[in-house]
């Protein structure tokens, strides 16, 4: 029987605090449980090349994109894997959409690699290995993706330190929308930093987002859906001023309100990518998702915020 390893991980959604978190402000992120990555590593016979199967690349390891090749090659070198391997990635998490796709791929692969070796993997090792992979993919990631996905709970992230929060218990639903527009977190983060270095006005938007994170936490503590919705609206206004919104995001926000949505904002790096919409009940959430798909969104997902089941 061939040697096999298996690992999986879900994605993440930044509830609030994107961009500001890279300036040392806090952020809140939550697990995105309907988005998953599954990785299987299988030993191959010696006369085969190592191979990768994924949505973004299908071919020999030697020709793979650098962020995938580096992680797998590091595993082979560190653990002195003698035989070639076949690595299969299965996912419904689209890349470059702010949903933690690259971190989930890294975490799922690390879990699969330790399962392949039949070795125990601690959360500390997992975070260290996944953060290494994230630096290859994103340059200077905040670390919030890996921390949220590994803990699989809502987290408060501030200056590299993570506090696990209690599960959401809000009477409402969240619609996650993949706008279909590929964003670049790395580029967006760098350009926002440039703006803030050039003009203190932009830094005031960053600081306001930081204040809103505390207000969002208060809304979560008091199970106040409407307060969180108000925070979303203000956060999106600041993100818009930081130039990281997008015409499609603005159009989808307006359209969602016509369907009865309470509020919404981009999530992640912006300039496309993904967004999150708050809806008071499942009927409104489904209308928002359907309208978004008719508009041209690539994917929509509906998540219950913990307070009700229709």
Q: Closest Cα partner for 278 from 209, 229, 237?
A: 229
Q: Could you report the per-residue pLDDT of 237-264, keeping only the tens digit for each?
A: 999 999 999 999 999 999 999 999 999 9
Instruction: Check residue 186 and give its pLDDT.
Output: 81
Question: Which helix (H) or strand (E) is 38 found in, with range?
Answer: strand 27-43
Tell me the pLDDT tens digit for each residue of 202-217: 999 999 999 999 999 9
Given a cut of 90, is residue 280 above it in pLDDT?
yes
**Tokens 């191959």 found at:** 44
pLDDT (0 to 100) of residue 256: 98
The residue-averaged pLDDT of 25-36 equals 92
Sign of the CA dihedral running 218, 159, 165, 234: positive
Higher pLDDT, 101 or 15: 15
Q: Which two tokens stand for residue 49?
A: 């090349």
Please tell me the predicted confidence (pLDDT) of residue 310.
46
Three-state secondary structure string covering 254-288: HHHHHCCCCEEEEECCCCCCEEEEEECCHHHHHHH
Write down the mean pLDDT value for the chain.
Answer: 92
Could you give the angle at the alpha carbon of 290 between the alpha carbons of 289 and 296, nearest 5°? 90
Phi and psi, residue 117, nearest 5°: -85, -10
Q: How confident is the model at residue 306 (pLDDT cuts 50, 70, 90)?
A: confident
- pLDDT value at 308 more than 60: no
pTM for this model (two decimals)? 0.83
Whether 34 has a pLDDT exceeding 90, the answer reads: no
């Amino acid at each position: 029987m061939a040697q096999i390893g298996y690992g999986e991980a879900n994605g993440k959604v930044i509830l609030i605090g994107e961009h500001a978190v890279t300036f040392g402000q806090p952020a809140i992120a939550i697990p995105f449980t309907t988005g998953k990555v599954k990785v299987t590593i299988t030993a191959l016979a010696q006369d085969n090349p190592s191979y990768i199967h994924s949505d973004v690349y299908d071919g020999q390891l030697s020709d793979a994109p650098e962020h995938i090749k580096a992680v797998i090659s590091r595993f082979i070198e560190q653990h002195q894997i003698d035989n070639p391997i076949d690595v299969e990635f299965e996912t419904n998490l689209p890349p470059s959409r702010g949903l933690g796709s690259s971190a989930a791929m890294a975490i799922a692969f690390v879990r699969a690699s330790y399962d392949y070796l039949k070795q125990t993997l601690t959360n500390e090792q997992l975070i260290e290995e996944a953060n290494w992979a994230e630096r290859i993919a994103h340059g200077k990631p905040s670390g919030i993706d890996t921390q949220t996905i590994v803990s699989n709970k809502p987290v408060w992230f501030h200056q590299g330190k993570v506090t696990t929060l209690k599960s959401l218990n809000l009477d409402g639903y969240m619609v996650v929308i993949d706008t279909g527009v590929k964003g670049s977190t790395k580029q967006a983060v760098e350009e926002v930093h440039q703006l803030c270095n050039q003009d203190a006005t932009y830094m005031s938007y960053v600081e306001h987002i930081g204040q809103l994170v505390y207000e969002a936490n208060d809304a979560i503590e008091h199970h106040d859906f409407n307060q969180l919705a108000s925070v979303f609206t203000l956060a999106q206004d600041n993100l818009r001023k930081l130039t990281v919104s997008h015409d499609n995001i603005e159009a989808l926000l307006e359209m969602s309100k016509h369907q009865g949505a309470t509020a919404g904002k981009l999530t992640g790096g912006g300039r496309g990518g993904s967004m999150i919409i708050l809806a008071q009940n499942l009927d409104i959430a489904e209308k928002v998702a359907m309208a978004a798909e008719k508009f041209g969104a690539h994917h929509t997902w509906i998540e219950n915020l913990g307070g009700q089941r229709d």
